[in-house]
Structure formats: C-alpha cells, structure tokens
C-alpha cells in the first residue's frame, strides 16, 4: 500500500539536498572571493613591517656639501643625530633608528610634481649644471643626502619617487618640510620632525624658470636651442619615453602647469626661508580641482563680454571636448590671452596665500587633540589621515576628481546622493599616510646637546623653572617627552588676547571660493554641525569635504583585491587604533556657533615646549629669530630708547646656531631679510613678562566692546635680564 505523503517527503528531501548544494555553492563562492582578499590583507600587514627596515645606512644618508663661503656661513664637515647617533643602527636621542629615519625620508605619499626623468635631466637656467645638483638644492636649504639603498639617486631629504598610473614622478614627502638641522662650529645635528629651513616658494619659482628655459619650442613643438635638445636627449636616455615628440609634449604641459601654479600662488609678502603658506596653497589647489564645466560656463558671462566672451566660451568648449576633467582650469587658462588669463585666475583664486608660517615640528603630533597653528584639525578618528591627505593635495597630488552618474560605496560613506556622485580618485597614498602617522608615534623631541652646544647651567635652570610655572605653564603644559601614554592638549588663545599676527587664522576662516562639483553637498565643521556647500562656500569646508572623499575613495590599484584590501585595512586600522577621541578645545577662544561655525580657529595654540630650542625662528609666522628675543617686547614709539627689543629686521637662512640666545644666527651673512613691517610679518604679541604687561602691543586689536583677556601671568612684574636668562636656560632643558 502506498504510504501517504510519500511524494511530499521525497520532494522535501530532494529540496533539502538542492538547498544544501546551493548553500555549498554560495559558501564556496564566498571563499573564492574572500580568500584572496584576506590573503591581500595579510600580505599588507607583513609587508608593512618588512619594508621599514630595508635601509640601514648607519649615517642615515646625511651628506655635506661645499658651499659658497659668503652666503650662509654655516658649513659643516660632520653630521650626527641627537644623542650622538650617526654611526650606529640603534635608536637615537629621538627614539628613531636609522631605518626609521630613512623610511620617513623616502616613502611616497602620492605627490606628483613633475615627471621623475624631468627632474633628473633639468638644467639650471643659463647653466649646464643640473637643477637638482647638491649645491642648488642646498641654496634652497633642502638637506643633502648621499645614495643609499632606499635613495639610489641621492635625492635631498623628502624628495621621493612616486609611481601613479604607470608614470614615475618626483614629489615631496613630509620630511621635506619637517626635517631640520642645527649647525655649530662645523658639526651639524639632523633633527627628525624638526622645522625645515627650506624655501619651497623659491624652489618652485626656480623650477618654473628652469622648465620654461628648457621648453624653448617652435610651433611644431620641436626644440629651438641646445638647452632644449640636451634636455630631450637626457630624458630619452632614461628609457621611459618613446620619442622626442612625447618628451616635448610633456615638457610643454608641465612648464605651463608649474608656471600657472606660481602665478596663482603669488603673495604680496615674500616667504623666504623656513616658511610657507601651506593652507593658502592647499586651498587654491582645492579650488582648482573642484572647478567643473558647469561652474566655468556660469562664470564666463560675469567675467567677459562681447567678442572676448565668445572667444572664451569657444576655448572652454574646445578644452572640454578634449577632456572634461584633466587639469581643466590649467588647460583652459593656457588657451586665453594674457589679459583673459589674468581675469579668469583673479576670479577663481581671489584668496592669495599671503600668510606664511613656520613649518610646525612633528614630535608629539599623534598625541595632540587638535593640530595646526590655529587648531583647525581634530586628531580624533580619521582626522590624522584626512589632515595628511589635505597636505598631499597641496603638494601636487594627481587629482582625478570628477562627477559621475550613479552611486558608489565611497560616495555613500561621504554622504553624497544616489543619482550622481563625485569620484575623488587620486594619487594620494592613504596607506602610506597612515603608516607615516604611525611611525611618528615613536618620535620624541630632541634634547639639548650639551657636548656640542655647551652645558646647561642647572642653577639658572632651577630658577627658570619657577618663572616658567608663573609666566608660561598656563598655556604651555609640561609633559614627559618619553612617556608612551602622554597626551598634548592644545591651549587656544583668541587673536585679540595673544596679539600675534592674525592673517593666517583669519584667512583659514574668511577665505571663500566656488564649490564647483561639490555644490549642494554637505561638509562638517569643527563643532557646529554640517553646512550646505552653496555656490560659494568657505574654502575650509570645501577642503574638509574633498579630503573626506579622497580618503574614502580607494587608491586606483589595478588589482581589485589589492584596492579593496588596502582601503578596508587602512580605514579600519586608522579608526580603531587612534586613541585620540573627540573632545572640547581648551583655552580662551570664541566658540563655534551655527552663525559663525569657524569662530574657534580665529585663535592660536600654545603647545608643550619640549624640544623648543631646535625649532627657530619663533611665533607662528617666524617673526622672532631666537628664544631670547621672544622674551623681549616689541618696541613701541613711546618705549625707552635704551631697552632691549625684538628685532624688526633680521637675516634668515643660516643653520648656524647661537647657543646663548637659543636660535639661528640672524646676521653677518647673505640670506633672506625678514621685515616685520610687512603684512603677515608682524612680530608683536605674546609679550608676557615684558615691560608692556597688560598693555602689550598687538597685531590684532580687540573688536569694539571686547577687551583683551590677556593670559594669566601677564600682570606679573616684567622679567629682568637675569630672569630672562634663567627662563631661557630652563627652556633648554625641556
């Protein structure tokens, strides 16, 4: 007799088997997909530790160079590192090994200034000497290196090779601006993480001149003189270009780009050595690459009229037809006559980078709550990666930003829409940025080298410690430089209270620009919520949005597993290993509000002063040459004639150290003349303990109805000369 429900039972068993097969197939598929991804992640973790130790040169590649005797007068015949390191592979006085230093110097962050072969072949204008010669790089005050395993071409510190989409470029790493050197009587001390003496603005102008001299081309883009012909021959000999036509085409492109950069970033106040308006230049790069076809089409009728308008519109459409995104502004500007080009650039870049500041020192940076001179960037969460991504945007990352249809995982993370989104694909190497920040966790401040600069007077220093507690500690908290659990809280002081030059802080708040492809997206502020990016928006907000997108978009590795693995690994690692959490700013400052969402960055920060002896010149804009001078007042018209005052003019550029005043020698050689009377160069303010007291001179008077609330301690009696020397001796111990 047939069993009831036998057919149903058989169907269930067969269905279960089918479901089992389906589940098995799905599981096998997931394994096939995820296993390579997991293997990539494992390979990343292994390689991350392996390549740090590839270069063990005991002297860390440090090299001397023969100088012109009458220029800087700071030549050395011996180079060491803090603690005497320089002949061993062990950790130095800053807790870095030779491998750590060399990895920091030579690891790319995605900066693509010019093709690498161009940098290797380019000559100085009017000379057959290479532009990259040691003597020329030393003239711009970059630190010279000898060839080592990780730097076979002996590039200066912080000059690196980057490869992006099959092309090799020369670019900058963090080390170019954040590696210092102190010279004294023939001995040089390299300071990892210290402020550079580099004149980057002068270097870029010199590079533009050299490229223009090489790009002497006729209407068919063929060389017209021997300089150009030699350049082409040397580049071809390196084997990366097919023929002379490919070289001259690229030469024409890059000579125009670098020349345009110099025009866009002109400042009414020259920077000189040891300074750069990094914010202003990053802002301008952001504005250049968010500009899109819609923005430019809408701008032209506001800028031109009549035949000039028709010509500009035709030129724009021709450029868009060739490529709607690739360096759009630069290619469009190149099609306009000189007057039209100036009109366009003045409109797009109305915020000149005219607030140069000293290069900040990097020790304790990963332990900070807020960074930058004005506390613009939070160090919580992904903040360090975003901050560093913004820096690479400024130093010539390749930015392939463009609008696209549809949605992506990255655009969802960034909070973009579903119909269209902005792709922020670029050469910015988030993987290496995260690793650089991780490496800096180990770095410690350098201690005063008594064997070279002379012993510290401990009796004076003890008296100075008491003075420091009464005059300085309220803003400059002391820490233990080698405490692994140290935290650095930035003490913010509003502009009217601190009294120092306001240009940098004000520019960071007040600069605005067109939103371009970012229009109608939302960007987060520091603590006042999100703001809508309308047709014109604060450039700080545009940069915040762009850097978030740059970090969230995977680096365009060809292998999709490598792309996803690096993306996931880096974001998760950076997010979950960062011990710095979001917190309220410390100090006396105006809080951010919905009406004024960047009010808190109209301030400057006081940070811990360990290693301060090695970070001259002083104040955020480098307007005071030594620590002794910083303890003096700025002379006002009614001050007594016989007193000591901060110098209003001094020389910058020499690395020769003055151990008595604690700073670089500021006269007696040919360098850059710093003039405190120029806009952005004001050397007043921060005059606690001087004869001015509560009436301290200021670069930024308080607004009507708001009296300065000078830092606690400013009402104390002015320091005598002996007390200044005591305090200075204590500062050497930090």
SS (HEC) of 538-588: EHHHHHHHHHHHHHHCCCCCCCHHHHHHHHHHHHHHHHHCCCCCCCCCEEE
The owner of tokens 């002083």 is: 618
CA distance 211 to 122: 7
Q: How confident is the model at residue 27 (pLDDT cuts 50, 70, 90)?
A: low
- Give pLDDT, residue 712: 38
Which of 555, 587, 550, 583 is closest to 569 using CA atoms? Answer: 555
Higher pLDDT among residues 642 and 97, named by residue = 97
- Classified as helix, coil or strand, 357 is strand
Residue 513: left if φ>0, alpha if ψ -120 to 50, beta else—which one? beta
89-101 burial code (b ≥16 CB/10 A, e <16)? eebbbbbbbbbbb
Does residue 713 surpass a pLDDT of 50?
no
For the chain, the average pLDDT equals 90
List pLDDT tens digits, range 171-207: 999 999 999 999 999 999 999 999 999 999 999 999 9
CA 164 → CA 112, 267, 557, 576, distances in Å? 8, 31, 9, 29
Does residue 353 surpass a pLDDT of 70?
yes
List pLDDT tens digits, range 406-426: 888 788 877 787 778 999 999
pTM value is: 0.91
Q: How confident is the model at residue 88 (pLDDT cuts 50, 70, 90)?
A: very low
Query: What are the tokens at 714?
Result: 């400013």
User: Please, how many CA atoms are within 13 Å of residue 232, restricted to the half-sphere of its CB?
Assistant: 23
CA distance 446 to 433: 23
- Contact at 8 Å (CB) between 699 and 684? yes
Which of 133, 140, 288, 114 is closest to 211 using CA atoms? Answer: 114
- Give pLDDT, residue 6: 62
Which of 485, 502, 481, 484 is closest to 493 using CA atoms? Answer: 502
> SS3 for 146-195, per residue?
CCECCECCCCCCCEEEEEECCEEEEEECHHHCCEEEEEECCEEEEEECCC
Does residue 21 surpass a pLDDT of 70?
no
CA distance 450 to 252: 53
Residue 228: left if φ>0, alpha if ψ -120 to 50, beta else—which one? alpha
53 sits in which H/E element: none
Which of 428, 356, 512, 354 is closest to 112 using CA atoms? Answer: 428
Helix axes 200-214, 226-237, angle to 10 degrees: 100
CA distance 362 to 59: 22
Query: What are the tokens at 439?
Result: 């490496």
- Classified as helix, coil or strand, 293 is helix
Averaged pLDDT, 467-494: 92
- Give pLDDT, residue 567: 85
User: Quick one: 10 exposed, middle or buried, by C-beta within 10 A (0-12, 13-18, 19+)?
Assistant: exposed
- Give pLDDT, residue 327: 95
């Amino acid at each position: 007799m047939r069993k009831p429900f036998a057919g149903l039972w058989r169907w269930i068993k067969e269905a279960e088997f089918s479901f089992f097969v389906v589940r098995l197939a799905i599981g096998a598929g997931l394994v096939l997909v995820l296993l390579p991804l997991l293997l990539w992640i494992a390979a990343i973790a292994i390689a991350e530790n392996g390549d740090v130790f590839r270069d063990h040169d005991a002297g860390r590649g440090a090299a001397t160079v023969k100088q012109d005797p009458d220029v800087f007068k700071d030549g050395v015949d011996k180079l060491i590192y803090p603690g005497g390191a320089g002949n061993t592979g062990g950790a130095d006085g800053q807790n870095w090994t030779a491998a750590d230093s060399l990895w920091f110097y030579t690891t790319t962050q995605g900066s693509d200034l010019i093709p690498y072969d161009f940098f290797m072949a380019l000559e100085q204008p009017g000379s057959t000497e290479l532009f990259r010669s040691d003597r020329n790089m030393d003239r711009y005050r970059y630190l010279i290196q000898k060839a080592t395993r990780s730097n076979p071409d002996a590039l200066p510190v912080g000059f690196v090779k980057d490869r992006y989409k099959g092309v090799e470029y020369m670019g900058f790493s963090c080390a170019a601006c954040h590696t210092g050197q102190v010279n004294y009587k023939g001995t040089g001390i390299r300071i990892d993480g210290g402020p550079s003496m580099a004149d980057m603005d002068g270097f870029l102008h010199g590079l533009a001149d050299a490229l223009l001299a090489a790009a002497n081309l006729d209407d068919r883009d063929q060389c017209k003189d021997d300089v150009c012909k030699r350049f082409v021959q040397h580049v071809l000999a390196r084997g990366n270009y097919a023929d002379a036509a490919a070289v001259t085409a690229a030469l024409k492109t890059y000579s125009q780009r670098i020349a345009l950069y110099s025009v866009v970033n002109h400042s009414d106040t020259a920077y000189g050595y040891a300074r750069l308006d990094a914010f202003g230049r990053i802002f301008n790069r952001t504005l250049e690459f968010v500009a899109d076809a819609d923005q430019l089409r809408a701008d032209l009728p506001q800028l031109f009229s009549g035949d000039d308008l028709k010509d500009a519109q035709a030129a724009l459409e021709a450029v868009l037809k060739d490529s709607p995104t690739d360096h759009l502004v630069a290619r469009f500007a190149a099609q306009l006559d000189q007057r039209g080009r100036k009109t366009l650039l003045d409109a797009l870049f109305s915020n000149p980078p005219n607030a140069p500041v000293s290069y900040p020192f990097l020790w304790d940076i990963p332990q900070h709550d807020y960074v930058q001179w004005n506390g613009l960037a939070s160090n919580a969460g992904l903040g360090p990666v975003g901050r560093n991504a913004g820096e690479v945007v400024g130093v010539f990352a390749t930015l392939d930003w463009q609008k696209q249809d549809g949605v992506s995982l990255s655009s969802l993370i960034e909070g973009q829409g579903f119909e269209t989104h902005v792709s922020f694909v670029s050469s910015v190497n988030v993987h290496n940025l995260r690793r650089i920040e991780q490496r800096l966790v180990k770095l410690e401040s350098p201690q005063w080298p008594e064997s070279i600069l002379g012993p510290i007077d401990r009796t004076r220093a003890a008296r100075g410690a008491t003075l420091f507690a009464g005059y300085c500690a309220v803003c400059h908290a002391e820490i233990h430089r080698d405490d692994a659990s140290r935290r650095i809280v930035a003490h913010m002081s509003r502009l009217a209270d601190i009294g120092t030059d306001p240009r940098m802080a004000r520019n960071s708040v007040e600069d605005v620009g067109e939103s371009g492809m970012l229009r109608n997206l939302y960007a987060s502020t520091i603590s006042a919520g999100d703001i809508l990016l309308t047709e014109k928006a604060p450039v700080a907000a545009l940069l915040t949005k762009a850097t978030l997108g740059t970090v969230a978009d995977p680096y365009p590795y060809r292998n999709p597993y490598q792309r996803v693995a690096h993306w996931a690994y880096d974001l998760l690692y950076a997010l979950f290993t960062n011990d710095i959490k979001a917190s309220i700013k410390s100090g006396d400052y105006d809080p951010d509000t919905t009406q004024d969402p960047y009010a808190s960055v109209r301030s400057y920060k006081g940070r811990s002063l360990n290693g301060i002896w090695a970070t001259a010149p002083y104040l955020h804009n480098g307007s005071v040459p030594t620590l002794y001078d910083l303890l003096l007042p700025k002379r006002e018209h009614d001050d007594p004639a016989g007193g000591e005052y901060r110098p209003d003019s001094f020389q910058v550029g020499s690395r020769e150290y003055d151990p008595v005043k604690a700073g670089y020698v500021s006269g007696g050689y040919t360098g850059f003349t710093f003039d405190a009377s120029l806009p952005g160069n004001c050397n007043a303010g921060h005059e606690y303990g001087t004869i001015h007291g509560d009436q301290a001179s200021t670069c930024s008077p308080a607004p009507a109805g708001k009296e300065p609330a000078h830092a606690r301690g400013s009402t104390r009696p002015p320091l005598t000369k002996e007390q200044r020397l005591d305090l200075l001796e204590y500062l050497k111990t930090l």
